[in-house]
Structure 1
């Protein structure tokens, strides 16, 4: 039947291009011989525009575009997710050199654009099919259907008798020696046409050494759509015939392809095809399905490992592929939110065997694409508070999305390298699940971090607002992701740094923005410039640092461990809550000091005195014989020139001087010897007296046996006055004094007082005494001296 059969094919001719360029770089293209077609894949980065292809044979060059490419068995497809353009050519395509259906030689021109220049590259390849041809093979390409049958089995197996009789009758009555074709459609009259007419309408017929080939683009006038088991199918049914003498030669050529577009259920992409696409291939008793991607079938174990499922039900084959399975391609889309879709170039082979053991091999090329699926990225606060910086994690960023900038507050920082922001870093990590992540670290004290005071919680709240700017590749479409992280740190009351000096204690405080929550006090008095001036403090405050110098003997000191060798002075600064005035913390510093003379008037009614008696000792006397007015009140300690007394104010012969506002206790250092030993110039002696003065308003009790209470410490003075050795004071010599201003000390308990004889004093209520004193001295300001008894 094959002998003498020849079908002419009309070719579109173009001018042969003589301009050729150098060899195409190996890294930008590949050519492969597949089972039933030849493939060229070219990297899109190789050209500014999509490359164009021409088929070349001995008759000329033919641009492979539109309807002509489909008629001749070529499919040119741009695959942006794979970043390539792909040409697939059927082994029976036009312009392909076919030697005995075993060796096929392809020759193409590829035109690429570089700037304003168009370069042409010649690409050729010789292929031999890896598998033998089946008696009947059908290819469902993306843009055409193709059927080829072996010429020695081109009999109408399975054709319905009524259809066959109608075709035979028509063919017999109209057959001529030239080949003609009849296209059958249900309910329409069969009309023969010659092959030239069929070619003009987009149909291609070809006769090789052993096969008859028929090809048609989808949607041609004589194609028809039908529904098989709920699956849409496109069918073209052509009968080729010729009358040779009294014999009519007839060949049935039927191509049927599933037009099911696919579906997605949230997890799987599904595609369906009827097990039997047309009655011509009815009577099948065995069907085998194989699945692959990108034109390559995979073994069953590999398909199962990838999660591919092939199921049959109701005479329908259903193929299910997880949308994120290996072999697919994904793409991120920025359309308001971040979305993605998956695409599979599936390749399905269906081998069917009919009742006559004639097998039909059916191959499908199908692109399955999911709808847009949400592709959220997420940010996570991974801050470790002890690091005092924010750590923010941005995860699940697809590999085709990159972070290019971050906006913190109102400032944009480029990524990478993020080096224009000292102290802050951004690191990128490629994750095992083919995503990328970014980790950003920003210190709490960074200028882009918002700080807010929470007065109720006494805490500082830090907030970092981040606007991530990402770009989707390769189109560089921008997408923004916002995140906000917060941290809270309890505020600590201000703490001073203190150091000792020869003249007192110095305090330093580094100021912070929220120090206004607290009040700094000396005792209960807020530390102000007025208070510093009043008590002789030296204070400077530039807004960043507060410096306070508390001179020795100024208000606020406490003195302990007083000996002739020295003593300890303690100064305390309190920090109080501004609202409640409760003490929150204190800064206390204790320093050792030495002094030649010293006087302390405590709040519990004790006078402690270190007096210099260098010029006060009469001849024949020693410091050990010194006493106060009461001869029974001797010194607690002495050395070669000084004595230490510590005694209750209202004892040891002290005189009490009262007026409206103050009370003064006075005592004097005396010696039991009356014969002087002149030590001072001109035979004069140094008379040493000391006194403690308290404001009456601060006294709780004026006189009691051992009880004395005052709100404040007294003001102490030591007087040195020059007297004649007979005891008469020189009227021409001014007294010298050592003054101790109001100095608080720790109140002594009875157990800590030095035992000794202390005469008792009469108890007087302060309020009654002041009333009587007011009556006697109304309008006067005299001082009344009262001996302590």
Structure 2
């Protein structure tokens, strides 16, 4: 059987500006009156919006198929649709149901371009003598679902001669066309009596003058008119010499039949036309393979029956088979070049193609959060045979084959350059349809389509699109905030980068992630230090290392800044290569290690901590011994003043609970760091002994555990005073009458301020602009009186009197209410004034310069006890004393006249 089918292809360009028109007169006549049909709606088509452009599409005739390719780059990010035009000028939108009924297919090729395929016998094709076929295609393209541009292409293909029966198996439909010429009567003509007997009852009762179809289904028959068949999505049509039946694969009348182990979709039908005097009966049975694909690791094999027995009713004399791809037949030379084979035996035909061949394509997929690929190829089979019933038969099959999911382990390549302080990591390998959407670095997420100084992303794709060839390169400076940096000891610093890649397969929008954990270590130069002491100060000199910008200094557990050093009386200097710190030996951050015969051993700790995690990088300590002479004072009259310091090993003890041998002798003064005892040589359990020429008085300061008071003390400080026995002390005494104390006026700034706090912690004060402050009855008012601009720690401020008035005049008596009277709470007030202690903090340097008290909000009343609404003004008079005063202020004797340095009111 010769393959002498004549094929001719021509493209007729259409422009709507009148310069170029369609050459075929019948098509040209309808261009001026184009209508759009979508289901039952129709609208006029405005030809003024047409733009002729063929650069984004290619057209071709492939056997009995119109082929149109639309460029993916032109359609990227746009809305588009394809319409076809019939001879009446109506446009039909090619939807999936319309396509399967009318012989159209929209698919995607190996490079993600759009393919539009149409049978030469499809619905809107204009046929000339069953040899020339013309189709007008309209393509609309726009954005935001608004079709802004319209393109029209008129296709013309030649196809002849036809086989007596031609079957076309597309992706989405099956189609059979047969000759409907009435043959001459021959001597050996044999009537198909069985088929006539099955159809004759329906034909006999059918209406005349219309085409009808009878479907043979298991257990019976189902007949319907052509109109009814159309409503069931069948396509039935006639041309000059042929009758056509087209159907989707899974109609109610279709059956799945296994032939040689291959499932076929089979529709058994007879189509007939009845006149009063005759019935024209045509066999329109059709069968198409719906599977037969098997896979090995490297090969796709497609098996189909050599004889489609459901539609072959007589002996086959000879057959001829060709294979191809994408609807194009391949000659043996090209098949050999591409390692394709076509084998056949008495029962089956087998096509084998290698996975990854050039005519197919790979596509990315995601399954269970794992990335993988599938390989697809659009196989084509043409099989022709001759038999006694039909003569020449031809079946063309377009059958896409797609491999199962092939997982692809991702490859993470760390090409970081430590010397350049740069993370450089590559993630691959992907197909070009994978996009990197988002990066999560550490705990922060970033879209990759926005510029960012913390990292850079690049992608690289090799031109061969049938292989895994796309990679993503990520560069992150190690100094970036998203990198976790940690000192791990021995002069080594560790840099950690946690990455979550969020990727998407387009255009399906399948999302998957990949996690990476990168660690790099750097050898660094650590800072070194040297320390020394003089009689008053302790000094530390630190030589910087290589990464000091990442570490912050602490003195003990207190952050050391130029401001805090200045506030504490420290010297802190940094010249870029060295840091110098000088602090007094009795500074608050100095710890007392021990007291022994060498003296008082003091130490301070200088720590460098990570500026993110505050982990200690290194610790430098300066430890020196100082004289204990200042801790013991022995007076000639036998009085002894002892300062007991809290040692480092006993940081948790309460110095106020220290005692001498006589447990009733407790500290005269104490704070968090020391306790001061003052006693006479003949008290507090002091013992006396003689040694050579000395009389020695001895005692000891002890501290017991509160839970074990009968046990040995956990702190014991032995003290002694030595007096030379033979020494004489000459004292000159001259009586003198002291003058009466007077207040001597002096000159200097004394500035007082009284402020209202927002809470009992006095951490937040009202500003000047906040007054007057609105308060409700019984609300607490927290007052603070402060001496400003005075650096003398021995001065103490005392409240003498405080009162409230209903006017700004502090001397006003109508009305007036006393709050503090002679340093005590007002007895007339049912709600007693509460005094609050003042402790040192960043704002309070000298607590003795402050006094705080609390009263409850009240309102003045008139003579008839009516409440007076308005503002209340508070006033205080204070006394400044030179020396700290022990005890409570009540009843006022705590501020004797001889101590008064001055008096001001605020």
Question: How high is the TM-score relative to the length of structure 1?
Answer: 0.53
The yes-or-no answer on 1:89 pairing with 2:121 is no
Q: Could you tell me which residue of structure 2 aligns to residue 484 of structure 1?
A: 517
Provide the rounded CA distance (Å) in 2 between the counterparts of 1:232 and 1:81. Answer: 27
Deviations 1:46-74 (A, max 9, x none): 78544152432137444544555433333
- 2:370 pairs with 1:337: yes
Indicate if the aligned counterparts of 2:101 and 2:248 stay in contact, CA closer than 8 A.
Answer: yes
Mean Cα deviation higher: 211-220 or 182-191 = 182-191
Q: Are the structure 2 counterparts of residues 222 and 427 from structure 1 closer, same or farther at C-alpha, using a change threshold of 3 Å?
A: closer
* Residue matched to 1:292: 324
Find the counterpart in structure 2 of residue 73 from structure 1. Answer: 103
**Once structures 1 and 2 are overlaid, which stretch shifts more, 197-206 or 143-152?**
197-206
Alpha-carbon displacement from aligned partner over 1:693-736 (angstroms, at most 9, x marks no partner) = xxxxxxxxxxxxxxxxxxxxxxxxxxxxxxxxxxxxxxxxxxxx
Q: 1:29 aligns with which of 50, 54, 57?
A: 57
C-alpha change, 1:248 and 1:397, in structure 2 (3 Å) is closer
Residue 53 of structure 1: aligned partner: 83
Which residue number in structure 1 is paired with residue 128 of structure 2?
99
In the alignment, what sits opposite 2:428? 395
How far apart, in 2, do the equivalents of 1:300 and 1:317 lie?
16
User: Match for residue 595 of structure 1?
Assistant: none
CA distance in 1, matches of 2:488, 2:446: 30
CA gap of 1:15–1:179, structure 2 versus 1, over 3 A, is closer
Is residue 438 of structure 1 aligned with residue 467 of structure 2?
A: no
Matched, 1:253 2:280: no
Q: Cα 1:451–1:259, aligned 2, differ >3 Å: closer, same or farther?
A: same
Tell me, what secondary structure is at the counterpart of 1:70?
helix
Q: CA deviation at 1:323?
A: 4.4
Whether contact under 8 Å (2:315, 2:388) holds in the other structure is yes
Per the alignment, residue 466 of structure 1 pairs with 499
Q: Deviations over 1:237-266 (max 9, x none)?
A: 233446789876543222111122745555
Structure 1 residues 150, 459: closer, same or farther in 2, change over 3 A?
Answer: same
Residue 493 of structure 1 deviates from its aligned partner by 7.7
Give the secondary-structure state (helix, strand or coil) at the position aligned to 1:39.
strand
Task: Call closer, same or farther: CA 1:253–1:446 in 2, change over 3 Å.
Answer: closer
Distance 1:291 1:460 in 2: 65
* Whole-angstrom distance in 2 between the partners of 1:165 and 1:476: 56
Cα separation, 1, equivalents of 2:404 and 2:574: 65
* Counterpart residue number, 1:233: 264
8 Å CA contact 1:413–1:420 kept in 2: the answer is no
C-alpha contact (below 8 Å) 1:183/1:236 kept by paired residues: no
Q: Post-superposition shift, 1:313?
A: 6.1
RMSD value, Cα: 4.7
Q: Does 1:219 align with 2:250?
A: yes
Task: Give, in angstroms, the shift of residue 228 of structure 1.
Answer: 1.3
Tell me the distance in 1 between the aligned counterparts of 2:78 and 2:492: 59
2:307 is paired with a residue of what secondary structure? coil
Pair 288,406 (structure 1): closer, same or farther in 2 beyond 3 Å: same
Report Cα offsets for 1:190-212 as digits up to 9, x if no partner.
57666555555554443433333
More displaced stretch, 218-227 vs 184-193: 184-193
Structure 1, unaligned stretches of length 5 or more?
A: 1-10, 497-506, 516-538, 549-789
Q: Which has the higher contact order (CA 8 A, sep 6+)?
A: 1
Mapped contact 2:258–2:264 kept (Cα < 8 A): yes
So what's the TM-score if we normalise by structure 2?
Answer: 0.47
The separation in 1 between residues aligned to 2:110 and 2:379, in whole angstroms, is 15
* TM-superposed deviation, 1:235: 1.6
Query: Once the two structures are superposed, what CA deviation does each residue of 1:626-671 show, in whole Å capped at 9, x if it has no partner?
Result: xxxxxxxxxxxxxxxxxxxxxxxxxxxxxxxxxxxxxxxxxxxxxx
- The C-alpha deviation readout for 1:402-460, integer Å capped at 9, x for no partner, is 33554443455665786614xx76554323645222344556566554444454x7644
CA distance in 1, matches of 2:321, 2:409: 37
Q: Which runs of 5 or more structure 2 residues have no equivalent in the other structure?
A: 1-36, 530-540, 550-570, 581-906
Distance in 2 between residues matched to 1:475 and 1:196, nearest whole Å: 38
- CA 113–489 in structure 1, closer or farther in 2 if over 3 Å, else same: closer
Partner of 1:380: 413
Aligned length: 503
- Pairing 1:662-677 to 2, within 5 Å after superposition: none
Offset, 1:107: 2.4
Larger Rg: 1
Aligned in 2, Cα 1:140/1:326: closer, same or farther, shift over 3 Å? same
Cα deviation for residue 362 of structure 1 reads 0.9
**CA gap 1:406/1:191 in 2 versus in 1, 3 angstroms:** closer
Shift of 1:379: 0.8
Cα displacement (A) at 1:374: 2.4
Task: Work out whether 1:362 is the aligned partner of 2:389.
Answer: no
Distance (Å, rounded) in 2 between the aligned partners of 1:440 and 1:63: 46
* CA offsets 1:345-381 (integer angstroms, 9 cap, x no match): 3333222344689432211233333444323322112
